Structures are given as structure tokens and as C-alpha cells.
Amino acid sequence: MTTAILQADRLPALLDAILKQARPVAPARDGDLLHLRPVASAAEIASRLDYINPRNSVKEFFFPRSEPVLAFERRADGVALAEPATDFPKTVLFGCRPCDAASLLIMDPLYNWDYKDAFWNRRRDATTVVAISCTRADEACFCTALGSAPNATTGSDLLLTPLDDARYLAEVLTPKGEAIAALAPDAFSPGTADKQAPCKAAFDLLPARLDLDRISAWLSANFENDRWAPWSFKCWGCGCCTFLCPTCHCFDIADEGTYRRGARRKNWDGCQFSLFTLHASGHNPRPDQAARWRNRVQHKYTNYVSKFGHRSCVGCGRCIRHCPVNMNILAQLQQIAAL
């Protein structure tokens, strides 16, 4: 890893250089919505980069909400199948937060443990992650509770930490990050700086680290527990939390089209829906919201750990911030840790 100082007034020049050779995905403001989306020019990028977190996570740029995985067509001599191209455009993901960058490393093993998912892996190969550290946080943020930090480097190719209005500390972490820095060499000058002080306001608001092992142990031992019902009573079972979550990864397979031709698509699905576990027999092993909420908590904080060695959560806070009924998974974890 090398460090450098990036002059803030050279950032537009760097973005223009990126635009010439890759598809940039960056935070843009559409009405009140600040979200990550492809941008056609640096002018489309949000003018202030001190947002808490874009509404959507980086997930959809690697695992789109709906994606064809197979096309089929009935012909005189049988059924012709065609696989979609996986030569994805070179992409630079600019301005996501360190929590989202870290989510990619949590998802990688899932898409590679038994079957190597070309859709995920080739998009990962084609994408460079330029994250920006958080100088602010809100009450929903909880990366520190999971042992991370608002200026953590995990998952980023290049991490920018705003030092003041004029300068960023640039941590060049991988060869992909080096390639970005090389696009505008005169924007970077050698040097380093303390990156804790600029993030102090965020650190001050973020919660203490949780006893994650204790939580995992309780969850493993308490599949049956009367507390799940009152804990989940107010959840009304939409997919807001799972769809905004950078590490929720479940999908459904749907065949669409006509008798003659169509496509098999991979669509986001979520464990908070009743249909998610409905069997063909009519039996539903997760018949109510208590069972579905339990699944969400257990999957993230114990099941995923036993399979992949990491919690399936980065503490981005979207599931708390945007839950229509203000469910609070951090409070849930703190409650379990105190049992």
C-alpha cells in the first residue's frame, strides 16, 4: 500500500480521466434521493460528498435486481439455448462508503464456494472500488459494532479520506487502485496524514464493539425462543431491509416469455416474504414474521459465520434507517448480547 495526498480541486480532473476509460458509477442526487448510479459526466455526481450513505448499496452493480441468465427459443429442430454475454464493461465504483466496500469481500466466498458464479466474478474483475471515508455518521450506522471503522480499507482498491476542504488522503491499496492513481498523476502528491482525526465526528457517534461470539452462541442455541414473536411483532414483512442490504444475496429464478421464446432470470428475493419458503405442498416452514425475522438475524450473525467465517453484515445501517416501521437490528443485537 502507498499513500498520497489528493488535492480536492483536482478531483474533477481525476473523474474526467476515469470517464474516458471506464463506466463510472457514483453518488448522484435525483430529487431527494441520493443513490449510486452510472453517471455520464462528473457534473452528475453529487456536489457534496459528505452524505451518510447512498440509499442503495453497491450490491446491484455486481448482483443486479433482475438479470437474464439464459435465453431460450423453440425452433423446428428443438429448443435453442443461449447464455448471455459476461464481458462486462470496465467500471469504476466511486464514492461508496467503506462499509459497502467491505461487503464485497463478504459476498465473494458465497459466489465461489461450490459454483463459480461468472456474473458476480466477472463484474468483480471489471470493477475498481474507490471508497470515501465517513466524516459523519447517523444513529443507524454501526460498522464499529462489528469491528470495522468509518475509514477502514477492507474491500477498497483506493480509499480517499477527506482531510479538510482542500485535500484527501489517498490510500492506494491494490494494482487496480494504482491504475486509477496513474490516470491523473499530477493530482496526487507524495505524502501521508493522520486519518483518524477527520473521522472523529463519525467515531464519536458510532456504537461500541459488540460481543459477537456471545451473540452467535446465543443465536445457535435459541432457534426456539418465545422472545422472537414480541421482537418481530411490528415487522410487516416487506423486503426493504433485504433489498437495501449490501450482503443479502438471496435470489429467485423466474422463467418469463412466451411459448416460443423467453428468458430465465435471476431476481432478488428476500427471506421476509412469506412466499420465500412456501413449499409446493402448501407447507411453510417459516409460517409467520417471528420465524422470518429469526432467520434474518440467525443467518447474518451465526449461520453465515459457520459457513464462511464472517458475519453477513457490515453495519451500513440501511435496514434501520429505511425500515418503514423502524425495526432496529443493532438494538436487537445489543439486547441479545445482554441476555
Partner 1 sequence: MSTPTEDLQARARALLASGEADLVIGYGQGTNPQKTTPVFISKADDIGQLVLNPFCHNNLANWLTRKDLRARHKRIALVAREPDIRAVVVLIQEEQVKPDAVRVIGVRIDRLGDPQSLCQVLPQTTLDDLQTHLRENFQPRDLTPEQLAALEELEAKPPAERWAFWRNHLDRCIRCHACRQACPMCYCDQCIAVLNQPQWLDSSAHPLGNTAWNITRAFHLAGRCINCGECERSCPVDIPLMLLNRFLARQVKAHFGFLAGYDAKEYQPFATYTCDDRQDFIL
DSSP secondary structure string for all residues of 137-193: --TT--GGGGT--TT--TT-SEEEEE-SSSEEEEEE-SHHHHHHHHHSGGGEEE---
- Of 31-39, 99-107, 153-161, 216-224, the segment contacting partner 1 by CB under 8 A is 31-39
Closer of 147 and 324 to partner 1 (Cβ):
324
Distance CA 28, CA 179 (A): 24
Q: Where are the beta strands (DSSP E) in the chain?
A: 2-7, 23-30, 33-38, 66-75, 78-82, 91-96, 127-132, 158-162, 167-172, 188-190, 251-257, 261-268
* Residue among 23, 27, 28, 56 that touches partner 1 (CB under 8 A): 56
Report, in Å, the least distance between residue 186 CB and partner 1.
38
CB atoms within 10 A of CB 263: 18
Residue choice 105, 166, 254, 339 for contact with partner 1 (CB under 8 A): 254
Other CB atoms closer than 10 Å to residue 120's CB: what's the count?
19
- Residue 238 CB, shortest distance to partner 1, in Å, is 4
Residue with cell 409460517: 287
Instruction: CB nearer to partner 1: give 18 or 143.
Output: 143
The answer to whether 322 contacts partner 1 (rule: CB under 8 A) is: yes
Quick one: which of 50, 83, 178, 256 contacts partner 1 (CB under 8 A)? 256
The β-bridge partners of 264 are 70, 255
Nearer to partner 1, 1 or 208 (CB): 208
| Interface positions, 125-154, toward partner 1 (CB under 8 A) | 138-140
Minimum distance of partner 1 from residue 115's CB (angstroms): 22
Per CB under 8 A, 233 contacts partner 1: yes
Number of residues that bind partner 1 (CB under 8 A): 42
Q: How far is the CB of 328 from partner 1 (least distance, A)?
A: 6
Asked if 92 and 22 count as a contact pair (C-beta separation under 8 A), the reply is yes
Please check whether residue 268 is in contact with residue 59, taking contact to mean a CB–CB distance below 8 angstroms. no
Which of 220, 274, 277, 334 touches partner 1 (CB under 8 A)? 274
* Using rule CB under 8 A, residue 52 touches partner 1: no
Binding partner 1 (rule: CB under 8 A), the pick from 222, 239, 277, 308 is: 239
Site for partner 1 in 287-316 (CB under 8 A): 288-289
The dihedral region occupied by 78, where left means phi > 0, alpha psi between -120 and 50, and beta the remainder, is left
Rounded to whole angstroms, the Cα distance separating 92 from 36 reads 12
Mapped onto helix, strand or coil, the DSSP state of residue 50 is: coil
Q: Which of 94, 111, 228, 268 is in the footprint of partner 1 by CB under 8 A?
A: 268
Q: Which stretch binds partner 1 (CB under 8 A): 73-81, 91-99, 171-179, 322-330?
A: 322-330
With CB under 8 A as the contact rule, the residue among 252, 277, 284, 298 that binds partner 1 is 252
Contact segment (CB under 8 A) with partner 1 among 146-154, 200-208, 248-256, 296-304 equals 248-256
Answer yes or no whether residue 28 interacts with partner 1 by CB under 8 A: no
Interface pick for partner 1 out of 40, 275, 279, 309 (rule CB under 8 A): 275
The answer to whether 65 contacts partner 1 (rule: CB under 8 A) is: yes
Q: How do strand 91-96 and strand 127-132 relate by DSSP bridges? A: parallel
Q: DSSP assignment of 201-241, as one string? A: HHHHHSPPPP-HHHHHHHHHH-SS-TTHHHHHTT----SHH
Q: Given the rule CB under 8 A, which residues bind partner 1?
A: 31-33, 35, 55-56, 65-66, 138-140, 229, 233-234, 236-240, 242-244, 252, 254, 256, 265, 267-268, 270, 273-275, 288-289, 320, 322, 324-328, 331
